[in-house]
């Protein structure tokens, strides 16, 4: 399973990349705003800075909601770097745009997916990634992980090339369960990735090894 980090913070991206397990980055307008990035040229420059850190797969989201402007904005984003994946919302005009981008060799990430039906449309339009939001479904007492499982089954039934990118992953169990189900990618905050390092028996075992070494070697 690929690990993407869901942030626009350059320091967090560098830390995850230096860990040696990072496969990509997802961003959105809210994450850009959180970092105080505003203005079209500044946003483009920030995307380029992200691309300069990672090896591939930087999802950059369009703001437009009509076909012509989604295409215009997406093409501008795609020009920033070959690593850019144009992130498009799951709306009628977005699906049409995904089909157009796919025909022109531009990779896409269909975002804000909350049902298996939406995931089918995204795959048929040729999306490179589909992003079902696990945590947001959990928030309204629906099973986000069950949706991942449904999409996995459907995509396997028809050998769709679209990769399942589990989004809104909020804790380590979300991530591990997505891996068990067979999500191709999980995107999450840095603290979820680093939490995978932790286990009390690892800590106590290392402490004992070091103490024993010190006893013998001083």
Which tokens in the block code for residue 148? 């991942």
Chain position carrying tokens 């986000």: 144
Cα dihedral across residues 91, 139, 175, 116: positive or negative = negative
Select which of 34, 79, 87, 214 is catalytic.
87
N- to C-terminal Cα distance for the chain? Answer: 43
63 with 89: CB under 8 angstroms? no
Helices (H), 6-143: 10-19, 29-34, 40-53, 67-80, 92-103, 116-125, 134-139
Catalytic (active site) residue 87 = yes
Rounded CA separation 91/108 (Å): 14
Which tokens in the block code for residue 57? 């797969």
| Residue 143: how many other CB atoms lie within 10 Å | 12
Annotated catalytic residues are 87
């Amino acid at each position: 399973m690929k690990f993407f980090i869901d942030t626009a913070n350059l320091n967090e991206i560098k830390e995850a990349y230096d860990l040696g397990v990072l496969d990509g980055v997802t961003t959105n307008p809210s994450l850009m705003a959180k970092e105080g990035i505003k203005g079209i040229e500044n946003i483009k420059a920030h995307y380029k800075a992200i691309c300069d850190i990672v090896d591939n797969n930087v999802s950059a989201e369009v703001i437009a909601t009509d076909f012509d402007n989604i295409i215009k904005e997406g093409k501008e984003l795609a020009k920033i770097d070959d690593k850019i994946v144009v992130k498009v919302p799951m709306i009628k005009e977005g699906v049409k745009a995904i089909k157009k981008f796919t025909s022109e060799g531009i990779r896409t990430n269909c975002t804000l997916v909350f049902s298996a039906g939406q995931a089918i449309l995204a795959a048929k339009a040729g999306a490179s990634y589909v992003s079902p939001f696990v945590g947001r479904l959990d928030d309204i007492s629906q099973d986000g992980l069950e949706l991942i499982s449904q999409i996995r089954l459907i995509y396997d039934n028809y050998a769709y090339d679209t990769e399942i990118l589990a989004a809104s992953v909020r804790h380590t169990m979300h991530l591990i369960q997505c891996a068990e189900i067979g999500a191709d990618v999980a995107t999450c905050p840095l603290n979820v990735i680093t939490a995978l390092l932790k286990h009390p028996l690892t800590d106590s075992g290392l402490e004992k090894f070091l103490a024993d070494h010190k006893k013998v070697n001083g």
